[in-house]
Structures are given as C-alpha cells and as structure tokens.
C-alpha cells in the first residue's frame, strides 16, 4: 500500500471539465441551482463516481452524496464537499473547487487502497447560492433540520420556474442515485472553499483554517418627521427625517467599525417618502446590515444602533422605528476539528492562519448537527461571485492536499471516539 496522494493534474482536468458546464463567454459559469446545467454537472460527478465503484445517493432536496465504504460501514460517514451550483455570472471555483477537491480525496484514497475506519462521503449541496431560488444554502439548511422544505413547495424562481418542478426533474435525472432520508446521521463535515476575500493572498498565506461564520442581522430603520415645501419652510420649522437619518448613519459609521475590527456595518439601501425633489420628506427608511462572529457583540451593536438612532431622531423632532428583517446567528465550528486541520497544515508546511468566514456557507448549518470546520484557499484579488474569479494551480493543490491530510486525521480521531 502506498500512502494516498493528490493528483493535481487530475483535479485540474476535472475543474476544467466542470467549468465547461454552463460556461459563459467571459470565462465564468452560469450553473444555477436545479437548472439543466446543474443537472449536467451532477450527472458528470455521478458518472465519475460510478467509474470508481463509489455508491451514489440523493435525498429529497437533491443533495448528492458519493460514498466510499470504510472498514466499519455501519459508522456514520465523514462528509467532505461543497456545492456545484453557481451565481448567474459566477466563477468556476466557488463551490466546484470544494466539491471536486473532495472527490479527488476520495479518488486518492481509492488509488492507494487506503481503508478508512468508517465511510467517507463527498457531498454536493443543493442551491447554495440562492440566486435562482431564494433563500440560499437551502439543501444544507433542510438537511440540518433548520428549515422545513415544505415551505418552498410553491416557490417560483427568478426566471419564473417552479421550485418543486425543477427539484423533481433534478431528482429524476439521476435515477441510479438511491434515494435516502433527509438528514441522515454523519460523524463530521469538512468543507474546502475559496476565501472570496483578499486577506490570505495579501498576507501570503496558503490556507485559512476557518473557525466559524459570522452572524448577520438586517435592521430596517424608519425615521418619520414632517413633510414640507423645500422652498418655503425655514430651518426652525423643519422636522426633516433626512437630517436625522444622516446623523444616525454618520454616528454609526464613526463608532461601530472603528471600535471593533471584527464588526461590519453597511447601509445599502435608502428610500424617502414621497421621494420628491422639492419636498422635505415625510419619512426616510434605510437598511442596516450588521455582522459579527460573536452573538453577544451582535446584540451589543444592535443596542448601540437603537441608542444612536433614538438620540439623533430626538434632535430633529422625529420618531424612529427599528424592525428586524433577518437574523442569522453566528456559526461556531468544532475546536477539535479546527485544531486537527491546523495541525495537518503544519505537517504539510502550509502557512496558515485561523479566520472567520465573512460569507455564508453550507458548513454554517452542518455545524448544528456534526463537528464541522472549513478550509479556505486564496483567490486572486479576493474576487468571487464574478466571472473573473481565479485560483492559482498551487493553491488548488495545497487545498486538496490539506483536505486529504485532514480527512484521514479526522476519520481516525472520530473512529477512536466512536
């Protein structure tokens, strides 16, 4: 028996082959969830799997699983993977890199005839992106029991397509994949993904060992004053909600992020009522996107937002109403998994750092049902959700080597604990 090794050329060829499915003229991919292109990618992965003698399964959400048996096949599998769907003008690595690197790990284990203690499964989660059918991370959310898929039955896509119709067609397109229940037990989950941000590349690091996914909270702030004529209302007679809103935004920008390097605050949307060029508005609404890795800090920032908005509103004689539009708590990955991945990176002499993910990933929900962690590799200029997305061949190789090393190490540790 030889020790298992990643074949970098094989992985490159696979990435190339999948990048042709839904290829766009600008070099990206349009392979949106449950589309004919998505089905073609699933078919290719299933065929590659069957050619190696791996079993193929899918569940009611069309999450796709490729299984390589272990010594004791009654143990719950260790899952590795990501997603195959893309943004409408997406890159060829977002999702595909993690899924195909995981498949390369399975092939490397098979090449070396290495028997793992329990089964290892590659997973491709359904509709991570959420661009065609909202919300995103649907497949993993339903798998983890965090959402009931029945609520999406009558959902229509951005192109008018029926979610349930497209889901049924996708399931039917892979009749050889045995159907199994949603949310089958697993022993752990490791997801490799591109960073989708600039920090690893800027710091010259090969690997990000991801400790969690930051929480996100969307607030809608409505400031109400008094409408008036722009020309005839002198300053002392104005109750202008725009002046109050500007004061709020200024105070928030000056305080939240400068005082906490892990905090994110973004105002992405502003609207006025009536929205007339020559009228003092009656009301101004604006959105707040707040993010932080710690739930307690997210609560504290929301408290700060409420105080600042109240004070600035009062200064202008305006009333303020704040409602929550979305609340996703932070995901915290398993310390044991994080340490194992970090140690594996050390054994491979890959410079790494621990970091929090700024974006959502399927791992966010998997962390609720099994020990979970993620591996990030750098992407050029941090560009993602963009056809120009690019990952250097050396980073592809480094990531896959680490995924293999970490998979073997985690599988052994899990077996000892079982």
C-beta of 38 vs 94, nearer to Zn ion: 94
The least distance separating Zn ion from the CB of residue 83, rounded to whole angstroms, comes to 6
The least distance separating Zn ion from the CB of residue 94, rounded to whole angstroms, comes to 4
The least distance separating Zn ion from the CB of residue 209, rounded to whole angstroms, comes to 18
Cis ω for the linkage preceding 308 (within 30 of 0): no
- For position 389 contacting Zn ion by CB under 5 A, the verdict is no
C-beta separation of 138 from 129 below 8 A: no
C-beta of 94 vs 195, nearer to Zn ion: 94
- For position 191 contacting Zn ion by CB under 5 A, the verdict is no
- For position 94 contacting Zn ion by CB under 5 A, the verdict is yes
Which one of 66-74, 90-98, 281-289, 392-400 is the stretch in contact with Zn ion (CB under 5 A)?
90-98
> Tokens representing 238?
């104005």
| Cβ-based neighbour number of residue 17 at 10 Å | 13
The least distance separating Zn ion from the CB of residue 136, rounded to whole angstroms, comes to 9
- CA dist., res. 15 & res. 191, Å (int): 17
The least distance separating Zn ion from the CB of residue 23, rounded to whole angstroms, comes to 18
Find the distance separating the first CA and the last CA of the chain, reported in whole Å. Answer: 26
Build a one-symbol-per-residue string for 43-82: x at contacts with Zn ion by CB under 5 A, - elsewhere. ----------------------------------------
| Cβ-based neighbour number of residue 364 at 10 Å | 28
C-alpha triplet 18, 19, 21: angle, nearest 5°: 70
Residue 186, Ramachandran bin (φ over 0: left; ψ between -120 and 50: alpha; else beta): beta
Q: 229-267 burial string, b = 16+ CB within 10 Å, else e? A: eeeebeeeebbbbbbbbbbbbebbeebbeeeeeebebee
> Tokens representing 296?
């307690």
- For position 95 contacting Zn ion by CB under 5 A, the verdict is yes
The least distance separating Zn ion from the CB of residue 218, rounded to whole angstroms, comes to 21
- For position 398 contacting Zn ion by CB under 5 A, the verdict is no
Which one of 7-15, 93-101, 148-156, 322-330 is the stretch in contact with Zn ion (CB under 5 A)?
93-101
The count of chain residues that interact with Zn ion, using the rule CB under 5 A, is 2
> Tokens representing 324?
């929550």
C-beta of 85 vs 104, nearer to Zn ion: 85
C-beta of 130 vs 228, nearer to Zn ion: 130
The least distance separating Zn ion from the CB of residue 248, rounded to whole angstroms, comes to 34
Contact set with Zn ion (CB under 5 A): 94-95
């Amino acid at each position: 028996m030889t020790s298992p090794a990643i074949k970098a050329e094989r992985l490159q060829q696979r990435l190339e082959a999948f990048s042709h499915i839904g290829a766009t003229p600008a070099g990206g991919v349009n392979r949106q969830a449950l589309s004919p292109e998505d089905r073609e990618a699933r078919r290719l992965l299933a065929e590659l799997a069957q050619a190696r003698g791996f079993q193929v399964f899918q569940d009611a959400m069309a999450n796709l699983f490729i299984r390589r048996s272990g010594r004791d096949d009654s143990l719950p599998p260790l899952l590795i993977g990501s997603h195959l769907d893309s943004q409408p003008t997406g890159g060829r690595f977002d999702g595909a890199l993690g899924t195909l690197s995981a498949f390369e790990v399975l092939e490397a284990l098979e090449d070396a005839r290495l028997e793992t203690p329990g089964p290892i499964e590659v997973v491709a989660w359904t509709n991570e992106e959420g661009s065609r059918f909202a919300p995103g991370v649907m497949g993993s959310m339903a798998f983890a029991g965090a959402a009931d898929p029945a609520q999406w039955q009558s959902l229509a896509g951005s192109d008018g397509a029926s979610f349930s119709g497209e889901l049924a067609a996708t399931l039917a397109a892979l009749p050889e994949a045995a159907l199994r229940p949603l949310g089958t037990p697993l022993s752990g989950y490791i997801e490799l993904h591109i960073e989708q941000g600039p920090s690893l590349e800027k710091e010259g690091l090969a690997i990000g060992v991801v400790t969690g996914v930051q929480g996100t909270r969307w607030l809608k702030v409505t400031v109400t004053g008094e409408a008036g004529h722009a020309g005839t209302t002198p300053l002392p007679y104005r109750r202008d909600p725009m002046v109050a809103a500007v004061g709020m935004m200024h105070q928030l920008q000056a305080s939240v992020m400068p005082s906490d390097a892990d905090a994110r605050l973004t105002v992405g949307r502003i609207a006025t009522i009536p929205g007339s060029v020559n009228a003092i508005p009656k009301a101004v609404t604006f959105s707040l996107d707040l993010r932080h890795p710690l739930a307690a800090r997210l609560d504290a920032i929301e408290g700060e937002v409420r105080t600042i908005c109240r004070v600035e509103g009062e200064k202008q004689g305006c009333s303020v109403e704040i409602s929550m539009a979305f609340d996703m708590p932070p995901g915290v990955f398993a310390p044991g998994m994080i340490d194992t991945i970090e140690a594996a990176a050390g054994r491979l002499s890959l410079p790494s750092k621990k970091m929090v993910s700024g974006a959502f990933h399927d791992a966010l929900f998997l962390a609720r049902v099994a020990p979970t962690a993620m591996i990030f590799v750098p992407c050029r200029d941090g560009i993602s959700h963009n056809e120009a997305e690019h990952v250097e061949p050396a980073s592809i190789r480094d990531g896959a080597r680490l995924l293999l090393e970490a998979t073997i190490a985690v599988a052994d540790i899990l077996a000892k604990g079982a």
